[in-house]
A and B are shown apart, each in its own frame.
Chain A
Amino acid sequence: MKTLVLVEHDNATLKDATLPVVTAAAKLGEVHLLVAGKGCAAVAEQATKIAGVGKVHLADDAALEHQLPENIAPLIVDLMGHHDAFLAPATTTGKNIAPRVAALLDVMQLSDIISVDGPDTFTRPIYAGNAIAQVKTSDTKLVITVRGTAFEKAASEGGSASVEAVSGASDAGSARFVSAEVAASERPELTSAKIIVSGGRGVGSGENYKALIEPLADKLGAAVGASRAAVDAGFVPNDYQVGQTGKIVAPEVYVAVGISGAIQHLAGMKDSKTIIAINKDEDAPIFQVADIGLVGDLFQIVPELTSKL
């Protein structure tokens, strides 16, 4: 089987989110990558080095600069003339593009797979991970999004693939990129961090979040996250949200501070290796999944913890 993997990037660097998808694709067959963007030759160069990649297709066109699905999907459909499976990371970019490709190919997408069980059989979580479904498709072309935390990252060095230019991109004219507000942070990225400290409604305010959660994260070299309640209350921006409808994370250590442990939050972090919970309510559901719990007032515990580390 010949697979085509959508490379996630910002026209300058290849994002780590691509690497687990390469691992998933390699279980199906030969791996080709697609770098679609504008002025993104450097990304293609990085892509050629990923271990196990056979070929890198480079589509460099102004219409592709912002990954607009209206412009990228037709290009992918063309490439699918000689590929059997299209795989994208289950990021907001992948989730935006892949179903559009699937519909144009008249196939059902397999969303957010967590394992490849055969050439047509996959496992995926449903109901926010409260149930796991094994599914088999009858479509002959596959369109798949891959949950990054479920597969090892392919090595980003060691490969020596060739680059092939792809032409024929055009602007569908129906959508235009206006602006982006991207949060710049010195901290590790949430979805690839080894340690995450998350704050919930219990933290109380944005000021408290800055005064308590961030210093603890800095001591641990951790990324910072939040529950939906903390995001909705405006303590932190939306891209901090962990959960069914936020980011799915699986770090070595996840520290939940003032988070009750609603099923929608657990859906995003329960595959973490070690979960540590700090909550004043000893019956909070988070303690049912936590490996280490500390019952008490976070306003006392967190500063003390930060100072003792």
Chain B
Amino acid sequence: MKILVPVKRVLDYNLKPRVKADGSGVDLANVKLSMNPFDEIAVEEAIRLKEKGVATEIVAVSIGEAKSQETLRTALAMGADRAILVTHDGVAEPLAVAKLLKAIVDEEQPGLVILGKQAIDDDSNQTGQMLAALLGWAQGTFASKVEVEGETVNVTREVDGGLETVALKLPAIVTTDLRLNEPRYASLPNIMKAKSKPLAQKTPADYGVDMTPRIETLNVSEPPKRQAGIKVGSVDELVDKLKALGVA
């Protein structure tokens, strides 16, 4: 079985986003961009399925500016077999990304597509579900456990009340939650090897997908800042404060 893993290049999760002074967005110039953490987990899960003999090939896909190649090379260094870059400058909304991914799925015929549950830049949490809808496939979102058994994948999902397990007919869509696994670091030899793994370059036009955004961003601003408050010196003082708040 082939596994497709879409990976997105985003502001590194350790960095604090800075809003541009003109209100047009978040400043991404000269800052570290890395693979979306949930997508690292997706790549890792695909590799583990390959190591178990369930998967035979892992194809990483990214949609974005030319530099997204670096993100794909990271996926290749972790253990993906080949990569597809759909170059697109400017906004790529989840619906357009899902349409591109559908076209790639039609070509590649994977048995499983594993995506991140959300990208930590826009926090949309949509792409996997949209892709599942466009393909008419079942979806196992927010996965903390994935087990393939024959023609079925059992997915344990992190839901608000606790955990839920669903059995999905393959092919299917899985989106990763944080506790699915701990992604490996690529070793230096594997980083070197990744440089010669195949990376195909495409454009949205190759797949006939219209990238025109449906949503226009009018402005982006800083959230209201919270002021640091006071420090109290003892538990007694804290108890007094709690009483003043009416909670004790």
Residues on the A chain within 8 Å of B237, using CB: 294
Judge whether B228 is part of the interface by a CB distance below 8 angstroms. yes
Q: A92-B160, A175-B167, A175-B169 are in contact. Are A133 and B238 (CB under 8 A)?
A: no
Contact size range, B: 35 or more
Asked whether, in the complex, the Cβ of B168 is within 8 Å of the Cβ of A139, the reply is no
Asked whether, in the complex, the Cβ of A111 is within 8 Å of the Cβ of B95, the reply is no
Which of A121-148 touch B at CB < 8 Å?
121, 125-139
Judge whether B186 is part of the interface by a CB distance below 8 angstroms. no
Q: Quick one: closest B residue to A137, CB to CB?
A: B215
Residues on the A chain within 8 Å of B121, using CB: 126-127
Which of B196-248 touch A at CB < 8 Å?
213-223, 226, 228-239, 241-242, 245, 247-248
Q: What count of chain A residues pass the 8 Å CB interface test? A: 90
Q: How many A-B residue pairs have CB under 8 A?
A: 256
Asked whether, in the complex, the Cβ of B162 is within 8 Å of the Cβ of A181, the reply is yes
Asked whether, in the complex, the Cβ of B133 is within 8 Å of the Cβ of A104, the reply is yes
Asked whether, in the complex, the Cβ of B239 is within 8 Å of the Cβ of A309, the reply is yes
Judge whether A70 is part of the interface by a CB distance below 8 angstroms. yes
Asked whether, in the complex, the Cβ of A291 is within 8 Å of the Cβ of B229, the reply is yes
Judge whether B192 is part of the interface by a CB distance below 8 angstroms. no
Residues on the A chain within 8 Å of B242, using CB: 220, 253, 276, 309
| Contact pattern, A 69-81, Cβ under 8 Å of B = 1, otherwise 0 | 1100100000000
Judge whether A281 is part of the interface by a CB distance below 8 angstroms. no
| Contact pattern, B 117-130, Cβ under 8 Å of A = 1, otherwise 0 | 11011111111111
Q: A138-B216, A177-B166, A232-B179 are in contact. Are A127 and B161 (CB under 8 A)?
A: no
Asked whether, in the complex, the Cβ of A131 is within 8 Å of the Cβ of B26, the reply is yes
Asked whether, in the complex, the Cβ of A136 is within 8 Å of the Cβ of B216, the reply is yes
Segment of B64-72, B77-85, B103-111, B139-147 in the binding face:
B139-147
Q: A99-B125, A177-B164 are in contact. Are A134 and B219 (CB under 8 A)?
A: yes
Segment of A52-60, A157-165, A239-247 in the binding face:
A239-247
Q: A126-B123, A135-B218 are in contact. Are A95 and B141 (CB under 8 A)?
A: yes
User: Within the complex, which residue of A138, A177, A191 is in contact with B214, where a contact is CB–CB below 8 Å?
Assistant: A138
User: Within the complex, which residue of B162, B214, B235, B238 is in contact with A137, where a contact is CB–CB below 8 Å?
Assistant: B214
| Contact pattern, B 144-168, Cβ under 8 Å of A = 1, otherwise 0 | 1000000000100111111111111
Tell me the minimal C-beta distance from A307 to chain B in angstroms. Answer: 9
Asked whether, in the complex, the Cβ of B95 is within 8 Å of the Cβ of A308, the reply is no
Asked whether, in the complex, the Cβ of A136 is within 8 Å of the Cβ of B232, the reply is no
Residues on the A chain within 8 Å of B141, using CB: 92, 95-96
Asked whether, in the complex, the Cβ of A107 is within 8 Å of the Cβ of B214, the reply is yes
User: Within the complex, which residue of A73, A138, A238, A295 is in contact with B162, where a contact is CB–CB below 8 Å?
Assistant: A238
Query: Chain A CB within 10 Å — which of B138, B215, B236, B241 has the most?
Result: B215
Q: A109-B94, A127-B26 are in contact. Are A295 and B161 (CB under 8 A)?
A: no
User: Within the complex, which residue of B162, B168, B238 is in contact with A237, where a contact is CB–CB below 8 Å?
Assistant: B162
Judge whether B132 is part of the interface by a CB distance below 8 angstroms. yes
Report the Cα distance A173→B151, complex, angstroms. 13
New A-B pairs, 11, CB < 8 Å, besides A109-B94, A232-B178, A275-B226: A92-B159, A103-B95, A131-B222, A131-B223, A134-B219, A138-B215, A173-B169, A176-B166, A178-B166, A191-B160, A294-B233
The residues of A with any CB-CB pair to B shorter than 8 Å are 66, 68-70, 73, 91-93, 95-104, 106-112, 121, 125-139, 172-183, 191, 194-195, 219-220, 228, 231-232, 237-239, 244-245, 247, 252-253, 263-264, 270, 274-276, 282, 287-295, 301, 304-305, 308-309
- Report 9 cross-chain contacts, Cβ distance below 8 Å, ordered by A residue: A101-B133, A103-B129, A132-B222, A134-B220, A172-B138, A181-B163, A182-B162, A237-B162, A291-B230
